[in-house]
Each structure stands twice: as structure tokens, then as C-alpha cells.
Amino acid sequence: MSQDWTRATAYDIREAVKSGAVRAETVTQAYLDRIAAVENQVLAYNEVWNDHALAMARAVDAKIAQGEDVGPLAGVPIGLKDLICTTEGRTTCSSKILANYQSPFDATCVERLRAQGAVFLGKLNMDEFAMGSSTENSATHQTRNPFNLECVPGGSSGGSAASVSANECAFSLGSDTGGSIRQPAALSGCVGLKPTYGRVSRWGLVAFASSLDQIGPLTKDVRDQALALNAICGHDPRDSTSAPLEVPDFTACLEGGVEGLTIGVPKEYFTEGLGDEVRGKVEAALNVLRDSGAKTVEVSLPHTSYAVAVYYIICTAEASANLARFDGVRYGYRHPEAKDMREMYVLSKSEGFGPEVQRRIMLGTYALSSGYYDAYYLKAQKVRALIKRDFDRAYEQCDVIATPTTPTPAFKFGAKTDNPLEMYLNDIYTISLNLYGGPGISVPCGQSADGLPIGFQIMGKVFDEAAILRTAYTYEQRSGVKLAAPELAAS
Ligand code: GLN
């Protein structure tokens, strides 16, 4: 029986393509067939680039035939969150305001992936402008959780997570401002990593909250994370916040185990609000690491309870500044019948932006307005400094910090849409890390009684992606946790 390449890891695809065991075109065609078969159930993509993907794959095959170097991602078919600029197709941020936007340039990470031989399958659905935790805020459609089509895939990188779990791409890129890679990875059952702020260039990432945003991969396993990170990390002079640091070869950081590693377990993350099933699986995951030679210590992150409030002041303030550019003049949707400039702004923005984006712009503008700036924005910046200090102090006692990724598994469509605060609280365990700036990974650690995936989060010191990758890899190998693949009958 011939191999089903849509179930293979990026690593295995790369090896097979490079060695000539399979043509890149064959692998890409397998993914396109898979998308054709299951996409009407999962709805992960905003756009699928059939012809273009096949052309990219054939170009890889042609290079191999010529004996040319094809790069470490040769023939690996991937999907990109629809806020990462690509010269192919559109970059819509799942918003009406950018419904027809075609980027004249590639994001830096896209340039790099291209140079490494990756094949682009298309653009993935998301919450509009990355604001949300369920992908229900997309202006295009609702992506479904491959493990249960009645549940959300998480968000905002919901399409990125669902496409990986449904085997509709080998890996994807997402972005994480307050949890948007790790939370959907946890809810949809794949591995998601937010790199340290500054590790990956934000050039060509449509900005939501510039002091928090990072691009990162969603993959089928931890080794693929290392492979994908190698491709996208590194200094970029076009992003002044990108760090001028050497990037280690992350694939060489996986082995070595956790003997002698100290894992901090923050007591503030194991309180009320944490579901019993999630707690049980995370405790079992900690036991696997203890059995593998790691030591665990209780640590405290005392300002955790302020994180959600601080985040929603800082991210909305930054968003209100960043989204001002979508004014219907330079680019973006312009209402066709406005009579004067004021009406043009009002009509274009109120039709172009969905309700959650409008809410954030208003909250952020308010937090920055004269008279309220000190009480909200400045105060939030001060508390952010305290949250960072919590992490610095905790890391005096430990090498990595382990927690649940989310309080509960995936929820049903509509369950939290009437109450924004309840939706915001789904990110309670992921947000602090963005305020601190360090890296974090979510790996699957089991399934609920209903079969929904549960995520285990490992956070690290700034620029120590190597430690979280090694811990996650050890966990994955030792635990043997393999989620039962979602049954998606081809239709
Ligand atoms: N869910 C959070 C929010 O709505 C985080 C989003 C993100 O990380 N992009 O802002």
C-alpha cells in the first residue's frame, strides 16, 4: 500500500523528497486531495492555491533533478495564517476591510520559507485581525475543530491549528499576541510554539499589538517545531525589534533528556477555574517528566491575577494605533457612497470592521485618551513590569515553567460569544508569557472523556527556546501520548 503523505511529519517528507523516494509534486497533490476531501467539514482555509502549490512543488522536483540544493524544507506543503503577507493571493486578516488586499511584498518569514523549499498551500482562517480565542470573529466563516465539528478550533490561529490536525498541511504558521498559537494548538490537538519576542521578524505580519505579537509554527510533533523554527528565526534589519542574536540549530537541541532540569510549577495556575480533566492530564504530564529525571518545584507568579486586565489595556491601546491605517484612503475598504470625508471614515470603518475589532479600537482609544492615559495605559505598563519581574524571580529557582495551556478543552460554537469577558478568560494561562516576552510551547497531553484534546504548556526564559523544545520532546517521547486522529470521512 502506498504511503499516505498527509499523515507524515514535515521531517519525513523532507527526507523522502530529498532522497528522491517521492516527488514533491506527489506529496503536494496528496495534500490538495486531502483538502478537497475534508475542507467542507473543517473550513480551515480562506484560500487554497492549487495550481500555485503544484508549480512550487514542481520547481523543487526540477532542482532535485538538476542536483541543486533544495533546502531543509524541500517539498514540505504548508499553510499560512491570513495575516502574514504573501505576494501570492490575498492577505485579508479575515476582515472585510482587507477583503481584496494583495500584498506587494512577502513577509520575511515567507521569504525564508520560500528559500528553504517549502510549498505554499494557501491562507488560513483566523479571528479578524487576530482578536479572539475561537475563530468565531472571522468575517469569512467559522472554522471547525477536527476532533469535534460542533466545537471551536480555538483562536485566533484557528485555521492554522485545525489544518494541521486535519492533515490539510504538514505544518502552518500562526501568530501569538496573547496565546493565539498555543491556545488553538491545545484545543485542536497539535503542537504550537510562541518564540521569544524578537526571535522572528515581524516584517510583513499585519500588526495587532506590536509589543506582544510573534509569529510561530503549529506542527504535528516537536521535532517539526525545531525544523520550522530553524527556518523562520533570525535577525532582520527590517524589524527594529528583531534580536541581533545567533540562532542555534534547534534540531540539535532536542535530545539529551531532562535529567537535572528544574521545572517550576506556579501555584497561581492550579486554582479554581481549572477544569478537573485538564488538571489531571497536566499532573500526569508532570509525573512523566519527573520519572524522566526532572525535578519540580512550586514557584509563585504573584501578579498573575492582573495579567488579563493588563493585557486588554495594552493590546487594545496598541491595536487602536495600528488599525488607524485602515482608513479607506491609503488602502482598505472604502464605502462607495460617502458624501464627505467624515462620512467616508464612519461608513468604511463601521462596515469594514467586525464588532470585536470595533470594541477593541474603542477600548484602546479610551485607554490612551488624555485624562485616562495615566489611570489605564501607564498603570498597565507598570503592572506589566511587575509581571515580568515575577518571571525573572521564578527563573532564579527553575529552568522552565510548566502549566496547563487552557482551563478547559474546546467549547461549542456560541458558548462564549455573548460574554466577551468569558472569552477573554480562556487565555488566562497564555497571556502572561506575552507580557513577559519569553517563549512557550503547547504539546498535547491527552484527551477529555469526550475525546477533546488537552494541552500542556512549557514556558522558558527569554531566548531559551532550546530548553522548552528539549523538555517537550522528552515529554512527547516518554509519554507516548498520541491523540486518536480525528475521523473525517472523505465526502
Ligand atoms: N485571544 C487573545 C485576544 O483575543 C489573544 C489573541 C492573540 O494572541 N492574537 O486578544
Question: Would the CB of 438 count as within 6 Å of ligand 1?
Answer: no
CB contact set of 348 (below 8 Å; sequence gap of 6+): 97, 327, 328, 332, 333, 334, 335, 338
Tell whether the model's pLDDT for residue 1 goes beyond 60. no
Considering 156, 160, 432, 442, which one is annotated as catalytic?
Answer: 156
CA-based torsion, 449, 220, 44, 408: positive or negative: positive
pTM: 0.97
The pLDDT score that the predictor gives to residue 491 is: 57
Question: Would the CB of 318 count as within 6 Å of ligand 1?
Answer: no
Mean pLDDT (whole number) for 83-100 = 97
Catalytic, 156? Answer: yes
Q: Which of 174-183, 440-449, 477-486 has the lowest mean pLDDT?
A: 477-486
Q: Which residue has the higher pLDDT, 437 or 491?
A: 437
pLDDT tens-digit readout, 255-292: 999 999 999 999 999 998 899 999 999 999 999 999 99
Whether domain 5-301+392-479 has CATH 3.90.1300.10: the reply is: yes
**Average pLDDT over the chain, rounded to an integer:** 96
Query: What separation in Å is there between the alpha carbon of 427 and the centre of ligand 1?
Result: 8
The pLDDT score that the predictor gives to residue 327 is: 86
The pLDDT score that the predictor gives to residue 9 is: 97
Using pLDDT thresholds of 50, 70 and 90, give the confidence band for residue 424: confident
pLDDT tens-digit readout, 312-362: 999 999 999 999 999 888 878 999 999 999 999 999 999 999 999 999 999
Distance CA 228, CA 73 (A): 8
Distance CA 88, CA 487 (A): 32
Question: Would the CB of 178 count as within 6 Å of ligand 1?
Answer: yes
pLDDT tens-digit readout, 118-151: 999 999 999 999 999 999 999 999 999 999 999 9
Three-class DSSP labels, the chain: CCCCHHHCCHHHHHHHHHHCCCCHHHHHHHHHHHHHHHHHHHCCEEEECHHHHHHHHHHHHHHHHHCCCCCCCCCCEEEEECCECCCCCCCCCCCHHHCCCCCCCCCHHHHHHHHCCCEEEEEECCCHHHCCCCCCCCCCCCCCECCECCECCCCCCHHHHHHHHCCCCCEEEEEECCCCCHHHHHHHCCEEEECCCCCECCCCECCCCCCCCEEEEEECCHHHHHHHHHHHECCCCCCCCCCCCCCCCHHHHCCCCCCCCEEEEEHHHCCCCCCHHHHHHHHHHHHHHHHCCCEEEEECCCCHHHHHHHHHHHHHHHHHHHHHHCCCCCCCCCCCCCCCHHHHHHHHHHHHCCHHHHHHHHHHHHHHCCCCCHHHHHHHHHHHHHHHHHHHHHCCCCCEEEEECCCCCCCECCCCCCCHHHHHHHHCCCHHHHHHCCCEEEEEEEECCCCCEEEEEEEECCCCHHHHHHHHHHHHHHHCCCCCCCCCCCC
Query: What separation in Å is there between the alpha carbon of 55 and the centre of ligand 1?
Result: 35
Question: Would the CB of 137 count as within 6 Å of ligand 1?
Answer: no
Mean pLDDT (whole number) for 466-477 = 98
Terminal alpha carbon distance of the chain? 22
Atom of ligand 1 nearest to the CA of 176: 8
Please name the residue whose Cα sits nearest to atom 4 of ligand 1.
132
pLDDT tens-digit readout, 10-41: 999 999 999 999 999 999 999 999 999 999 99
Which of 160, 180, 311, 431 for a ligand 1 pocket mutation test, highest count of atoms within 8 Å of Cβ? 180
To the nearest 10 degrees (0 to 180), the angle between helices 222-232 and 10-19 is: 70
**Nearest one of 214, 185, 13 to 108, comparing CA atoms:** 214
The pLDDT score that the predictor gives to residue 125 is: 98
Mean pLDDT (whole number) for 455-479 = 98
Question: Would the CB of 408 count as within 6 Å of ligand 1?
Answer: no
The amino acid that residue 84 corresponds to is: I
Query: What separation in Å is there between the alpha carbon of 312 and the centre of ligand 1?
Result: 9
**Nearest one of 401, 410, 408, 398 to 440, comparing CA atoms:** 401
Query: What separation in Å is there between the alpha carbon of 149 and the centre of ligand 1?
Result: 22
Using pLDDT thresholds of 50, 70 and 90, give the confidence band for residue 490: low
Atom of ligand 1 nearest to the CA of 179: 8
Query: What separation in Å is there between the alpha carbon of 342 and the centre of ligand 1?
Result: 30
The pLDDT score that the predictor gives to residue 286 is: 98
pLDDT tens-digit readout, 51-77: 999 999 999 999 999 999 999 999 999
